[in-house]
C-alpha cells in the first residue's frame, strides 16, 4: 500500500521543515515485489525533483528489500516490507523496514563471493547508512546527498533513529568501530 506525501516534521513552533516524508510503500515479502519497490523509489524521487542519484537510490533500495525478503521474517507467508522515503536538507533518507530476524545486517567482506554484496554496495554508495532493531523488526536506512549537500560525520545520529529514539528505546550501537565490515552510522537532521 502506497501512502501519499506527508507533512514536514517540525522541531518547534514556527520552525522550518527539517525532514519531510515523501512517500511510503508496503509490499508483500515476495521476490516478485522487488520491482515494485524499485519503481516506487524512481517514481517518488522523480516527482519531487530532488537532485540525488536516483539510480543509486533505486539500486540500494532493491538490494535492501531483497535482503529483507531472503533473510528476515518478511519473506515468509504474510510477510511484508515497507519502504519510506524522507526528504532531508541536502539529500534523501530511505528506510526499508522488515519483519525482523534472529541476525543483524552484516556487510560481507569477500568480494569474490557469488552473493552477499548488497550491504557492501550500500556501504560504498551511500553517504551514511545504519540500522535499528526492535521487537517489531529491523529498519535499514541510508542517506544520499544532493550535489550541494555537506559531507556528514560518521558519529552523528540518523534523522530516523533520532526521531525513533524519542518514541521507543534504542538498544545502542550495532557494531564495533574496529570491525570495518559492519557499520551503523548515525546522522542528525541538522547535519544533513
| Start-to-end C-alpha separation, the chain | 29
pLDDT at 51: 86
| pTM of model > 0.75 | no
We report the CATH number of the domain holding residue 86 as 3.30.565.10
Task: Answer whether 44's CB lies under 8 Å from 22's CB.
Answer: yes
Report the pLDDT averaged over residues 43-59: 91
Residue 49, pLDDT > 70, answer: yes
pLDDT at 33: 97
Q: Which residues pair with 8 in a beta bridge?
A: 20
Total domain count, the chain: 1
Segments of 108-188 assigned E as strands:
128-134, 137-145
Band (pLDDT 50/70/90 cuts) for residue 115 is: low
Task: Answer whether 181's CB lies under 8 Å from 108's CB.
Answer: yes
Residue 118 has which C-alpha cell?
A: 548488497
pLDDT at 147: 83
Report the pLDDT averaged over residues 32-57: 93
The percentage of the chain sitting over the pLDDT mark of 90, rounded to a whole number, equals 49
Half-sphere exposure of 75 (CA within 13 A, CB side): 12
CA pair distance 88, 106, nearest whole angstrom = 26
CA pair distance 23, 125, nearest whole angstrom = 22
Phi-psi region of 88 (alpha: psi -120 to 50; beta: other; left: phi over 0): beta
Domain enclosing residue 35, as ranges: 2-9+17-191
- Summarised one tens digit per residue, pLDDT across range 53-95 is 999 999 999 999 999 999 999 999 999 999 999 999 889 999 9
CA pair distance 49, 146, nearest whole angstrom = 11
Residue 171, pLDDT > 60, answer: no
Single out the residue of 143, 20, 163, 23 nearest to residue 83, CA to CA: 23
The percentage of the chain sitting over the pLDDT mark of 70, rounded to a whole number, equals 64
Residues in contact with 35: Cβ distance below 8 Å, sequence separation at least 6, in sequence order: none
Q: Which residues pair with 23 in a beta bridge?
A: 85
Amino acid at each position: 500500500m502506497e501512502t501519499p506525501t506527508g507533512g514536514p516534521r517540525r522541531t518547534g513552533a514556527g520552525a522550518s521543515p527539517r525532514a519531510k516524508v515523501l512517500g511510503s510503500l508496503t509490499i508483500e515479502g515476495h521476490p516478485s515485489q522487488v520491482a515494485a519497490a524499485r519503481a516506487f523509489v524512481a517514481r517518488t524521487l522523480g516527482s519531487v525533483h530532488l537532485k540525488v542519484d536516483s539510480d543509486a537510490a533505486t539500486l540500494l533500495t532493491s538490494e535492501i528489500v531483497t535482503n529483507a525478503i531472503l533473510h528476515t521474517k518478511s519473506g515468509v507467508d504474510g510477510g511484508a516490507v515497507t519502504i519510506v522515503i524522507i526528504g532531508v536538507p541536502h539529500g534523501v533518507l530511505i528506510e526499508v523496514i522488515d519483519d525482523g530476524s534472529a541476525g543483524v545486517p552484516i556487510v560481507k567482506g569477500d568480494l569474490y563471493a557469488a552473493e552477499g554484496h548488497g550491504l557492501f554496495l550500500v556501504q560504498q554508495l551511500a553517504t551514511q547508512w545504519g540500522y535499528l532493531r526492535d521487537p517489531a523488526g529491523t529498519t535499514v536506512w541510508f542517506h544520499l546527498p544532493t550535489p550541494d549537500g555537506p559531507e556528514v560525520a560518521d558519529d552523528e545520529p540518523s534523522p530516523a533513529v533520532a526521531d525513533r529514539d524519542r518514541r521507543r528505546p534504542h538498544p545502542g550501537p550495532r557494531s564495533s568501530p574496529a570491525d570495518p565490515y559492519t557499520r551503523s552510522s548515525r546522522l542528525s537532521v541538522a547535519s544533513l
